[in-house]
Amino acid sequence: MQDLKPIEIVAQLDRYIIGQDKAKRSVAIALRNRWRRRQVPEALRDEIAPKNIILIGPTGVGKTEIARRLSLLTDSPFFKVEASKFTEVGYVGRDVESMVRDLVELTVNAGRQNEQVAVQDKARKIAEERLLDLLLPKAGPDEPFKREGAGEKALELVPANGEEHGSTREKLRRMLRDGKLDNRYVDLEVAGRAAPMVEIFSNAGMEELGINFKDMLGNLMPKNIKRRKVKIPEALEMLTQEEAQNLVDMDKVVREAVAKVEQSGIIFLDEIDKIVGKHQGQGPEVSREGVQRDLLPIVEGSTVNTKYGPVRTDHVLFIASGAFHAIKPSDLIPELQGRFPIRVELDALGSKEFVRILTEPRNALLLQYQALLETEGVALQFTDAAVQRIATIAQEVNERTENIGARRLHTLMECLLEDVLFDAPQPDLTHVTVDDVYVDAKLEKIKADEDLSRYIL
């Protein structure tokens, strides 16, 4: 993050997301402030609280896509969760603390993988020595010659003593590195632990107990060691992965992961409008107001117990999003409103934005279909008039039916190209040009029939 200035973060998001400049600026500033806080004097560092963000806008305008691209862009621990999955403490379902536990688990796994990559070279050298031991076992005093079975053909080895043994090992090492032994097999012991299946459905806090219960039973169960006959390249890879796992200092990985979560963790809370009750004072709504009350201490800053130890959430950045088409952000409980000081309203999308979405991003929808059909030897082209017509129809259908934003384009494109996608590949089908006449022929009839368009488009 120290290399990405806010203007550069926005530029990276612009490559995949059209419009929504205010939302991009807000998340860029929030991300950069995470790095800035870590540079200030330590006495002031703990006093700077994260400025949580709430993104407000209809579905299909880019809220979730912003979160997805941020997770790929930042090196901070990132976790996206739907708020509608949670229920109030005391009821069957996931409790809000589980999102912090999931974030820590993801960060630990990522740290473990990074450490394994860092020690890969050392692990490969150790694995190579182990493989050479399998190919050239040490001979006993009554066994001056050794013949080791390695597949269909056996390796004829020289006496296992002194310089001759070392010379043979080096010759075998060169053969191994040159790939001359790739077709030979070795017998390898593979340790696999059969962990018992444990599912616990109960109220809050039992999820973590379930995880620890699995670990405890897994350690009590004996290792299931199997002997497998595998080719030497596969054996080398398996031994390398095993040694890499043994070389990783998990205590260090866990310490760094917990510190990273506490200092620069980001949680994206999608569908936060779904936890706002519609009927005040008419019985408990365990997946609405109750979730807000449980969420409040996590957002304000509290300690969550995880399998890796306690984790504080004081400096975790929360980015929430919701359509808020039936309710308002002010319908959230006041305490929770105060914990999201930055509110950004995302703009609804029209035909101009749809044209840009179809053509400009690196993962543009037209490019995706062109790449798919290119695998069948079909060249797919769209005229400018066709693109404009698709965008116009998308806007009209959104206005007449439910407004689902840019997701409408996916539905239209599937209907538009259904015949081409079905007919390919054929010898006489090598080029397809989609113009505005083609678009009208495929979509105008469906669009005109309002009842039919509600089901199809």
What pLDDT tens digit does each residue of the chain (457 aa) get? 557 889 999 999 999 999 899 999 999 999 899 889 989 998 898 899 889 999 999 888 999 889 888 888 888 899 999 988 888 776 767 889 999 999 999 999 999 999 999 999 999 999 889 888 888 876 554 444 444 444 444 444 444 454 555 688 888 888 888 888 888 888 887 766 544 544 444 444 455 555 555 565 656 666 667 787 888 888 889 899 989 999 999 999 999 999 999 998 999 999 898 888 765 555 555 567 888 988 999 999 999 999 999 999 999 999 999 988 878 888 888 989 999 999 999 988 999 999 999 999 999 999 999 999 999 999 999 999 999 999 999 999 988 888 889 999 999 999 999 999 999 888 888 999 999 999 999 988 787 777 777 777 7
325 and 392 share one domain: no
How many other C-beta atoms can be found within 10 angstroms of the C-beta atom of residue 242? 17
Question: In the prediction, which pLDDT does 168 show?
Answer: 84
152 and 238 share one domain: yes
Q: Do the domain assignments include residue 252?
A: no
Question: In the prediction, which pLDDT does 24 show?
Answer: 94
Question: In the prediction, which pLDDT does 149 show?
Answer: 42
**Greatest extent of the chain over all pairs of C-alpha atoms, in Å:** 92
pLDDT digits (tens, 9 = 90+) for 291-320: 898 899 999 999 999 999 999 999 999 999
96 and 125 share one domain: no
The sheet carrying 317-322 orders its strands as 78-82, 266-270, 317-322, 53-56, 342-345
385 and 287 share one domain: no
Which residue matches tokens 């054996």? 235
Q: Chain-wide mean pLDDT for the chain? A: 83
237 and 301 share one domain: no
CA dihedral 257, 259, 260, 266 (to 10 degrees): 110
User: For the domain that residue 375 is a member of, what is the CATH number?
Assistant: 1.10.8.60
Domain range for residue 152?
A: 120-247
Long-range pairs of 251-255 with CB within 8 A, sequence gap ≥ 24: 252/115, 253/108, 253/111, 253/112, 253/115, 254/108, 254/111, 254/308, 254/309
Q: Do the domain assignments include residue 238?
A: yes
The percent helix, strand, coil of the chain (3-state, each to 5) is 50, 15, 35
CB 95, CB 86: distance < 8 Å: yes
CA gap 382, 417 in Å, rounded:
11
265 and 173 share one domain: no
Q: Do the domain assignments include residue 256?
A: no
Number of domains the chain contains: 3
96 and 19 share one domain: yes
Please tell me the pTM assigned to this model: 0.79
329 and 445 share one domain: no
Q: Do the domain assignments include residue 255?
A: no
pLDDT digits (tens, 9 = 90+) for 219-263: 666 666 778 788 888 888 989 998 999 999 999 999 999 999 999
Of the residues 221, 247, 273, the one at which a domain ends: 247
Of the residues 219, 247, 275, the one at which a domain ends: 247
Which residue matches tokens 């603390």? 97
126 and 240 share one domain: yes
